[in-house]
Chains A and B, each alone.
Chain A
Amino acid sequence: MGNESRESKLNAAFVAVADTLTADYDVVDLLHTLVSECTEILDAQAGGLMLAQPGEALQLVASTSERVELVEVMQLSAGAGPCLDCYRIGEAIDVPDIAATTAAWPEFAAIALQHGFRSVHATPLRLRGDVIGTMNLFRTFAGAFPSADADVAQALADVATIGILHERISSQSGLVVSQLQHALDSRILIEQAKGVLAQSASLGMDDAFGVLRRYARSHAITLRAVASGVVDRTIGIDALVA
């Protein structure tokens, strides 16, 4: 990748993340943009972002694919894997060769390798000294994550976490915990909406998410708003699957 194209992609990524902050945005949309942009510009093949409330387990809130395979890898990583370590120590964790971690993380390593992932880089989401989550970027080839790429991932993650802070201030709602709870609840609503769509339109869960996302984009509303309308049936299936 040439420097010029990389720089323009970087600029576009920061603009995309910042854009999410200007409108009537939701944390889930923001984090989805973050993980998609990072995966795209940092030559990763998949990415997932997890948040946790204090004392609770990490939950997958945004990912580049909703397919069961990636969801499973992320969940295992949060159980015993780079996600959990990154979240616990609050520092980036680089795993240049997942195959070399089978002793430390047998379940995670086995499933990640089975799905073709060879290396992973975990970036902490830090807010005023608190770690609120972690972003994992997976590559289908082995090798250390270049430090320049790690810096970009951390910078974009920092912008996104400032966005969570910003929403907190603008809504006067008091606690960062509330924002985390809201983001995690948005994710639950999205899963319920995927179920409604999967049943009504005979779609797979990944396709159902795509339908929700396209509708949100074309109507310039948040994913949460679309999900809410689907679950309470105020947005008809015909309007979604046009």
Chain B
Amino acid sequence: MVVMNDGPDAANSLVSPFVSSLAIDGASISVVSEGGRQATIAASNADAVRLDEFQFDLMEGPRWQAIDEARSVLVAELDSPVAQAWPMFASTALSIGVHAVFSFPLRLGAVVVGAIDLYRRAPGALDYDAIETAESLARGTTTAAARLAMLSAGGAEDPSGPPAMRREVHQAVGMIIVQLDVSATDAFARLRAHAFATDRSVRDVAADVVRRNIDFGALSDDPL
């Protein structure tokens, strides 16, 4: 688990609405880090943490697909041919008694910030209303998850503003897409990585990108 500046309470309050309003046993939120890695920022219980670790260690599972394809991946029964896309994850999850996993990407425009994973011990699909609720909750969680991801990048964020929504950050992502010829998701991760490496806030670095003081295509000190 990554220790967040806001403390575990701020992060865990992000997963509680999912657990309280849906027929599930647990939830976790992970964010995409530089180099395509992922970090868990919140988990509702020990099983949720373990499921996160399985996907992380095995480098496979519905969350990877949700992030790669920027769409929801819903698995009503892991003990079925549907789950054969992730055979190691499916058998490991089943071994701790988890049968259903639902992954929703957290998107800021074209950027996939991370994903929220929901799991249930009993098999069974989420119904239409539950999917709507989960997707709406996921959208509502994105800003806060992005804020935590940006805080974890280091530097001091302006506590008065909502950094994830500052225009310069999104504009800088667009510019880095072109500078490095990468996806929006990778551009956002590189922006955060650079902020971390130079001990600055994401917003400060973004403002420099927009003012054309920093060109990621010309950087040699990038940690990647």
- Tell me whether A200 is interfacial, beta carbon within 8 Å: yes
- Tell me whether A150 is interfacial, beta carbon within 8 Å: no
B110-A178 in contact (CB<8A): no
A192-B136 in contact (CB<8A): no
A177-B110 in contact (CB<8A): no
B170-A192 in contact (CB<8A): yes
- Tell me whether B98 is interfacial, beta carbon within 8 Å: no
- Tell me whether A65 is interfacial, beta carbon within 8 Å: no
Q: A154 vs B222: C-alpha distance in the bound complex, in angstroms?
A: 51
* Stretch of B61-69, B175-183, B194-202 that contacts chain A: B175-183
B170 is contacted by which of A53, A177, A191 (Cβ under 8 Å)?
A191
Q: A190 vs B165: C-alpha distance in the bound complex, in angstroms?
A: 12
Task: Tell me the minimal C-beta distance from B41 to chain A in angstroms.
Answer: 18
B170-A199 in contact (CB<8A): no
- CB neighbors of A among B163-208 (8 A): 165, 167, 170-179, 184
- Tell me whether A232 is interfacial, beta carbon within 8 Å: yes
B160-A195 in contact (CB<8A): no
A198: which B residues are within 8 A, CB to CB? 171, 174-175, 210
A197-B139 in contact (CB<8A): no
B139 is contacted by which of A178, A190, A205 (Cβ under 8 Å)?
A178
* Stretch of A10-18, A136-144, A181-189 that contacts chain B: A181-189
B173: which A residues are within 8 A, CB to CB? 192, 195
Q: Which residue of A lies closest to B181 (CB)?
A: A233
B110-A232 in contact (CB<8A): yes
B140: which A residues are within 8 A, CB to CB? 53, 177, 181
B160: which A residues are within 8 A, CB to CB? 79
B132-A174 in contact (CB<8A): yes
- Tell me whether A220 is interfacial, beta carbon within 8 Å: no
Chain B: interface residue total (CB-CB under 8 A): 29
A185 is contacted by which of B107, B132, B172 (Cβ under 8 Å)?
B107
- Tell me whether A127 is interfacial, beta carbon within 8 Å: no
B107-A181 in contact (CB<8A): no
Task: Tell me the minimal C-beta distance from B198 to chain A in angstroms.
Answer: 20
A200: which B residues are within 8 A, CB to CB? 178
- Tell me whether A231 is interfacial, beta carbon within 8 Å: yes
B171 is contacted by which of A75, A79, A205, A232 (Cβ under 8 Å)?
A205
A190: which B residues are within 8 A, CB to CB? 109
A205 is contacted by which of B107, B136, B178, B210 (Cβ under 8 Å)?
B210
Chain A: interface residue total (CB-CB under 8 A): 35
- Tell me whether B143 is interfacial, beta carbon within 8 Å: yes
Q: A186 vs B102: C-alpha distance in the bound complex, in angstroms?
A: 25
Known A-B contacts A181-B139, A185-B139, A192-B111; A57 and B174 likewise in contact (beta carbons under 8 Å)? no
- Digit string of A206-228 for contact with B (CB within 8 Å is 1, else 0)? 00000000000000000000011
Known A-B contacts A59-B165, A189-B110; A196 and B174 likewise in contact (beta carbons under 8 Å)? yes
A231-B107 in contact (CB<8A): no
B161: which A residues are within 8 A, CB to CB? 57, 75, 79
Q: A20 vs B17: C-alpha distance in the bound complex, in angstroms?
A: 35
Q: A71 vs B165: C-alpha distance in the bound complex, in angstroms?
A: 13
A199: which B residues are within 8 A, CB to CB? 174-175, 177-179
A174: which B residues are within 8 A, CB to CB? 129, 132-133, 136
- Tell me whether A160 is interfacial, beta carbon within 8 Å: no
A196-B136 in contact (CB<8A): no
A194: which B residues are within 8 A, CB to CB? 171, 174
- Tell me whether A175 is interfacial, beta carbon within 8 Å: yes
A231 is contacted by which of B129, B132, B184 (Cβ under 8 Å)?
B184
B109 is contacted by which of A177, A178, A191 (Cβ under 8 Å)?
A191
Residues on A facing B (Cβ under 8 Å): 53, 56-57, 59-60, 71, 75, 79, 173-175, 177-178, 181-182, 184-185, 188-200, 205, 227-228, 231-232
What 4 new A-B contacts, CB under 8 Å, besides A192-B173, A195-B173, A199-B178? A181-B136, A181-B139, A195-B171, A232-B184
27 residue pairs of the A-B complex, CB under 8 angstroms, read A57-B162, A59-B165, A60-B167, A79-B160, A174-B129, A174-B132, A175-B132, A175-B136, A178-B139, A181-B136, A188-B108, A188-B165, A191-B167, A191-B170, A192-B111, A193-B174, A195-B170, A195-B173, A195-B175, A195-B176, A196-B175, A197-B174, A199-B174, A200-B178, A228-B110, A231-B110, A231-B177
The 7 closest A-B pairs by CB, nearest first: A195-B174, A191-B170, A188-B109, A189-B109, A199-B178, A195-B171, A199-B175
